[in-house]
């Protein structure tokens, strides 16, 4: 009899515990936090996130104050593109680029989803220099300019970049769990040069990196 009473008490305790659980509690994020110990590791993870189309990893690479700057040729183009956009806009646009099932909400001239992308950054020749941002005078950021290349397949379109494309990346030190890590805080698309032969070719579509991103905003 005594053992039956104890068993009932245990069952009652378990039932009370279960009833206290939140049935609509959000799922735990199982994506591991990236550990990026240098600006070089930031860029390596950045390239990997693009080629793997890993949106969760891409978001972890960006600083809370991240800003993307379009190439001057795009800003002065027709129609004009804004000089820059913030982290939230970039995260949304990149998510659309990474999603093979994305559907353009504008049915007038719909942009097809990207089926494949190949990104290369020539990190070996990059030289990281100290940079003092006027808004954060107590911090020392690292900045480097490097060449890049990409192949982006979207529907029947193949997007490539022109001659000698460049981008400038700025990384910011942050504190996480008492240790210094790095995140990408600024990305400047510097554009490319176009040769006469490229202008005459209609086999592929030549766009800056920023212009591709703008298509998927």
The stretches of the chain forming alpha helices (DSSP H) are: 2-20, 39-52, 55-61, 72-75, 87-98, 196-200, 209-215
Q: Tell whether 68 is covered by a domain.
A: yes
Residue 208 sits in a domain whose CATH number is 3.10.450.50
Q: Tell whether 63 is covered by a domain.
A: yes
Query: For 177, left (φ over 0), alpha (ψ -120 to 50), or beta?
Result: left
Q: Is the dihedral of CA 69, 70, 73, 76 positive or negative?
A: negative
According to the model, what pLDDT value does residue 194 have? Answer: 55
Please give the residue range of the domain that contains residue 94: 38-215
Domain count across the chain: 1
Q: Judge whether 204 and 158 are in contact, CB under 8 Å.
A: yes
Nearest in space to 191 (alpha carbons), one of 104, 102, 77, 107: 77
Quickly count: other Cβ atoms within 10 Å of residue 146's Cβ. Answer: 18
Q: Tell whether 25 is covered by a domain.
A: no
Q: Tell whether 205 is covered by a domain.
A: yes
Q: Tell whether 142 is covered by a domain.
A: yes
According to the model, what pLDDT value does residue 35 have? Answer: 86
176-180: list long-range contacts, CB under 8 Å, 24+ apart. 176/33, 180/37
* pLDDT one digit per residue (tens) for the chain, 217 residues: 444 433 434 334 434 433 333 333 333 334 457 789 999 999 999 999 999 999 999 999 999 999 999 998 888 876 778 999 999 999 999 999 999 999 999 888 899 999 999 999 998 888 999 999 999 999 999 999 999 988 999 988 888 877 788 999 999 999 887 889 999 999 999 988 654 444 444 445 668 889 899 999 8
């Amino acid at each position: 009899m005594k053992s039956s009473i104890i068993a009932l008490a245990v069952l009652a305790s378990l039932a009370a515990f279960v009833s206290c659980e939140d049935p609509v509690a959000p799922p735990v994020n199982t994506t591991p936090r990236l550990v990026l110990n240098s600006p070089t590791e930031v860029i390596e993870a950045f390239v990997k996130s693009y080629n793997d189309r890993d949106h969760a990893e891409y978001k972890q690479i960006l600083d809370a104050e991240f800003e993307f700057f379009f190439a001057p040729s795009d800003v002065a183009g027709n129609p004009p593109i804004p000089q820059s956009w913030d982290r939230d806009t970039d995260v949304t646009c990149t998510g659309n680029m990474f999603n093979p099932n994305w559907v353009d909400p504008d049915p007038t001239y719909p942009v097809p989803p990207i089926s494949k992308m190949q990104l290369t950054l020539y990190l070996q020749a990059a030289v990281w220099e100290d940079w003092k941002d006027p808004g954060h005078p107590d911090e020392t950021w690292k900045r480097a300019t490097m060449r890049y290349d990409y192949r982006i397949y979207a529907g029947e379109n193949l997007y490539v970049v022109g001659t000698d494309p460049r981008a400038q990346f700025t990384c910011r030190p942050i504190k996480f769990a008492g240790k210094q890590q790095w995140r990408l805080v600024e990305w400047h698309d510097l554009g490319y040069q176009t040769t006469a032969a490229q202008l005459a070719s209609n086999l592929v579509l030549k766009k800056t990196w920023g212009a591709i991103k703008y298509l998927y905003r």
